[in-house]
Amino acid sequence: MGIELPQTILPTPAWRNEVEALSGYRVSACYQCEKCTNGCPVSFAMDIVPHRLMHAINLGMKETALRSNTAWVCASCETCTTRCPNGIDIAHIMDTLRQMSLREGMRNAQKETPVFHASFLASVKRYGRIHELEMIADYTLRNEGLKGLLKQAGLGLSMFMKGKMPLPHSYRANRQVKNIFSQVEGKGRP
């Protein structure tokens, strides 16, 4: 049996600086106290726990951070943010990583999650709230195609017949919701 040597990592702060600029928070202030990870209710499902992801960002490990499922598994409950002694909004950094991952076209283990986010936001943008029937149909089409939608049709019809999936009303997103989307899209934020 040979001894496996640890991987040599040369820190590259350029990418960390990009994450800090986009998120507005200093990842470099993280001193690995692990309070974020210890308080995270979903860390058991993450491939890289929050404090280690922050360390990977500090080292400039772009591929590792963006391909990780951690940002996609994050529930955005902000427990990590509340517990951080240096005031780093880790939940916001997770959101920044999700946006960067989408922009870079990175594939990760949670391939369905970005599709769900897109369907969710499309419904909010259109109606100003979630319309479950349209959102799940959009999600299923994006994720599994027409075959997947037909496979789900029986369950959808059963739920509709029981009054669990109402048809959309004539509501549309109001001006406030439309302004929020146009401001965010106009800023080119991550």
Taking only the tens place, the pLDDT of each residue in 123-147 is: 888 888 888 888 888 888 888 888 8
Say what the pLDDT of residue 125 is. 87
Q: Which residues of 75-97 are buried (b: 16+ CB within 10 A; e: fewer)?
A: eeeebbbebbeeebbbbbbbbbb
Say what the pLDDT of residue 190 is. 44
| Cα gap 146→93, rounded to integer Å | 35
Ranges of H-type helices in 28-131 = 35-39, 50-59, 62-67, 70-73, 79-83, 90-104, 112-127
Say what the pLDDT of residue 56 is. 95
Say what the pLDDT of residue 46 is. 94
Q: What domains sit in the chain, N to C, each tagged with a CATH number? A: 13-104 (1.10.1060.10), 112-187 (no CATH)
Q: To the nearest 10°, the Cα dihedral for 168, 169, 170, 175?
A: -80
| Cα gap 50→71, rounded to integer Å | 9
| Cα gap 124→132, rounded to integer Å | 10
Say what the pLDDT of residue 102 is. 84
**Positions in the chain short of pLDDT 70:** 1, 108-109, 168-173, 187-190
| Phi-psi region at 97: left, alpha or beta (left = phi > 0; alpha = psi -120 to 50) | alpha
Token pair of 74, please?
């994050």
